[in-house]
Chain A
Amino acid sequence: MAAIAKRQRGKTLESEGLKEALVGFGFIALPIVSFLIFFIYPLGYAAYISFFDWGPLGRVANVGLGNYREAYHDFLFHKALKNTLLYTAVVVPSQMALGLTLAVTVNQALRFRTFFRAAFYFPAVAGSIAITAVATYILASDGLLNSAVGAIRGTPYTHSWFGESSTALWSIMGLNIWTTSGTMMLFYLASLQSIPTEVYEAAAIDGARTWRTFWRITFPLLKPGHFFVAVVSVIGSLQVFDQAFFVSGGGGGPNYSTMTIVLYLYNTAITGTRFGYAAAIGIILFAIIFTLTFVQRMLFGRAEVA
């Protein structure tokens, strides 16, 4: 009797498990399918056409590895690569630092905490082109920033931030560090709030002060947060396009300073109509992003919940 009941229970459990699985699959089916169609399919397509001279009407000639060889010798691509890597190397740590600072600030019991959270996140919500357009006026040679600097130091200051190759890319870096810090703040906030309060209580009992607590306890426990923010930041930085395009009018800025990989890819495809070469550049960028993400995964380990 008990054995029959056990078997029946087993069967019900099995069919319940199957039902649960089907429901689960049903929910993720739509996002997975759209992911496959809109991300994976174009990736495969791009990989294919990168081996050809491909125009708007389709295949023109088979060039094998010719596009990749051309990229290897292309000095404009090298400039784009150098700028993009420099940009990433500066922006990623800065975004992480600023995001973490904001998250720690906003995690405390301050007055108007909700307002600050919204205010810090706001730039991520405002359109990047709109922000850049306003920035071109603020950073113009006779713009707001220079007027303020001139007023402070007494003599007029007329440096054109986006118009000089020494500061164009750095101005874009500063702009993007500020706009994306809000998103990083959110990620760090989530990670911060998952650290159990007992840890802090234990530290307080042991007499640890705030700075020490932060560096010895909070910071290491934020490893999952660091990993996630670092990966997202690297991926986003390597694909910088909007600001470079807007600030330079598509030309890559004064003296190649704002030429980024995606901007070069865009010009090659849209103005040059060389889809095959553009696809090769895209695949090279994909390989760089993939490698860096893989390296980060090895460094940070798996992102477990604390």
Chain B
Amino acid sequence: MRKRLIVLSVPVVAIAAAILASTSQGKTTHPQAATAASGTVTLTGWSVGTTEEALLKQVIASFQRKYPKIKVKYDAIPNYDQAMLAKFSARKPPDVFYLNSEKASTWIADGLIAPLDKYISSTKFSTKPFYPRLLAAFKAKGHIYGFPKDWSPLGMEINLDLLQKAGAKAPTTWAQLRSVAQKLKPLMTGTAKPLCLSAEWQRALAFVYQNKGNVFTKGKPTFTSAAVRSAMNFYVQLQKDGLGDTPAKLGAGWCGEAIGKEKAAIAFEGNWAFPYLPDTFPSVRWKFYPLPKGKQKATLAFTVSYSTSPASKNKQAAWVLITYLTGKTGMKLWTSKGLALPARSDVKVNFPAPSRAPLLSEARYAHVWNWPAGWDKVWTVGNNELSAVMEGKESVSDMLSRIQSEAQSAK
């Protein structure tokens, strides 16, 4: 009898949970913000290295000096996406937080991000200095949902010693990329190859844009277009001809590590190579160059914004913090060490060597990695298909058809 009671409690609680779930409201409450910007504002980002964290704390300190009435509480959390979704669901998000351009469409569509338009108009804040392509990643339906805090494009990292030994100059076109790789081939030993080619669209797509191709045209996926196909054929052919390979085959976790371990002479990575490469592999001599040109110059850009949420407590102070961090002074201080590139054209920084100038020069033709909601699954499929092609198990055409059908049914 008692045993039956205990066993019975299980489905009872399960059903009770379902009933309780059905009564939970799907709406947010909007607490009224304080009249003047004051009080505590919570700033949350993902965990970064000690150098970056120290620099951010410096920027926050300078903000506190200018606005003594606002106290900033900074938190770096691991498992950022998971933790943030939990905070959003609990209606207790931080006041200011990072928004990755990759996730922007999804989080905005879910109603998690607050539009900033009324603050922009009431404080007459100018959004002109932001690089338009970077700002566009955080716009939806004519509203602005955040300001880019920094960015990085993809550049071409080249091992200078190997380049010198091969007697070659940095390639500037697709044809030169092939010929320079051919010259480097005899110098690479063991599993090393001249090029590091990630089996990821987050790298290969740059070549598609350079070929005047596009995977999303006029609101519709266009993976099977001719320009996309020929660009991907070029990328994959580099591996087939033995001029490059995936990081795993080379013996590295990613292409930055491949450069550091000298398993590759040329890789396509971004500003995140700093401070990783100088810190982890200080003996390797390398330099950034702009990506080679296809039919046109193009590269990919990755950016993050500071944003706030409708359910955030102190939205007035959040606005002040956001505009400081992405304003001229704040951004200049944040990007002064070269750990990130400024997202504003009116912030000029003298970077310490090695030079980021080649990366900055790509701003005009950089395509931000920013996609409609539901495309996370498209890229999961895309990268798996690309890895199948680079294992020689599938043709480029089949890969593109498969990704196209996935993109057409994306939710």
Residues of A within 8 A of B (CB): 21, 25, 32, 36, 40-45, 47-49, 55-60, 76, 136, 140-143, 156, 158, 160, 162-165, 251-256, 259, 267-274
Contacts and interface: CB of A to CB of B under 8 A. Distances in A.
Given A43-B17, A255-B384, A32 B251 contact: no
Interface in B52-110: 81-82, 85, 88-89, 103, 106-107, 110
Interface residues of B, number: 53
Given A44-B13, A57-B28, A252 B89 contact: no
A156 B249 contact: no
A267 B383 CA distance: 14
A76 B25 CA distance: 32
A59 B28 CA distance: 12
Contacts of B17: 40-45, 48
Where chain B touches its partner, the secondary structure class is helix
A254 B199 contact: yes
B21 A273 contact: no
Contacts of B85: 56, 269-270, 273
B26 interface: yes
B27 A41 contact: no
Given A40-B10, A48-B22, A163-B249, 11 more contacts: A44-B17, A56-B112, A60-B26, A141-B191, A141-B248, A156-B190, A162-B248, A254-B199, A254-B248, A255-B393, A270-B81
A42 B26 CA distance: 18
Nearest to B111: A57
Given A44-B14, A165-B391, A273 B110 contact: yes
A160 B18 contact: no
Contacts of A160: 248-249, 251
B14 A47 contact: yes
Contacts of B204: none
A254 B107 contact: no
Interface string B21-51: 1101111100000000000000000000000
A57 B88 contact: yes
Contacts of B15: 44
B2 interface: yes
A255 B388 contact: yes
A11 to B, nearest CB: 21
Contacts of A60: 26
B246 A163 contact: yes
A163 B131 CA distance: 38
Which residue, A36, A76, A143, A259, has most C-beta atoms of chain B within 10 A?
A: A36
